[in-house]
Amino acid sequence: MRISVVTFPGSNCDYDTYRVCKSRGNQTKLIWHKDSDLEKPDLVILPGGFSYGDYLRCGALARFSPIVQEVIAFAQKGGLLVGICNGFQILTECGLLPGTLMMNANLHFICQHQYIRVETEASPFTQGIGKGKVMDIPIAHKEGNYYIDPEGLKQLIANDQILFRYCDKQGNINIESNPNGSLDNIAGICNKQRNILGMMPHPERSATETVPTKDGRWIFAAIENALE
């Protein structure tokens, strides 16, 4: 599988993502934000970090980088696209995913282990994992509070676009298991065409031998299986 990981000024999870993808035997390349060629990938990943210092709004400036137009074109042709944390914020700023990411409810930066629950297997990002599976995937953000208007939420639910929700260790969805105030405990969504994933948790930080949790491997494996 050919993977392109985009680096913006301020990205800090690009090399983590690159190393995880490459260690799994994938042809992985880092693409600079001023480039105009994604180099024919099967998968594009917009990694976490603080693109452009998070000035204005998170992801608001990154959407104007030259490579983003190529990312949009790639996704509109059906290519698989993943936005992690800041990448998720960029995807909403581009209009590739609905809703927005606001300041955490407690107004603080949060960095911790977090349980999330798989809400559907009907996507290339979750197929084979098992609906209801609980995974320990770390979070690290200050603007991860997902919001969408009532009609938008209704559409997400009707179209089965909510892929992950924040939960406790037993898989319960409640206020106590919601770290940032996200509407309906939403941790990750896909588009209607199901080829674009945006998620705040960091699977690349839970997919190597040197970290306590390796649950992020489930997501990378699902994508690889979908592209076989």
- Please list the active-site residues: 85, 202, 204
Angle at 24 between CA 23 and CA 30, to 5 degrees: 60
Retrieve residue 185's tokens. Answer: 């405990």
Q: State the SS3 of 2-70.
A: EEEEEECCCECCHHHHHHHHHHCCCEEEEEECCCCCCCCCCEEEECCECHHHHCCCCCCCHHHCHHHHH
Please state, in angstroms and rounded to a whole number, the distance separating the CA atoms of residues 152 and 155: 5
Please state, in angstroms and rounded to a whole number, the distance separating the CA atoms of residues 58 and 93: 9
Angle at 71 between CA 69 and CA 72, to 5 degrees: 65
Q: State the SS3 of 95-121.
A: CCCCCEEECCCCCCCEEECCEEEECCC
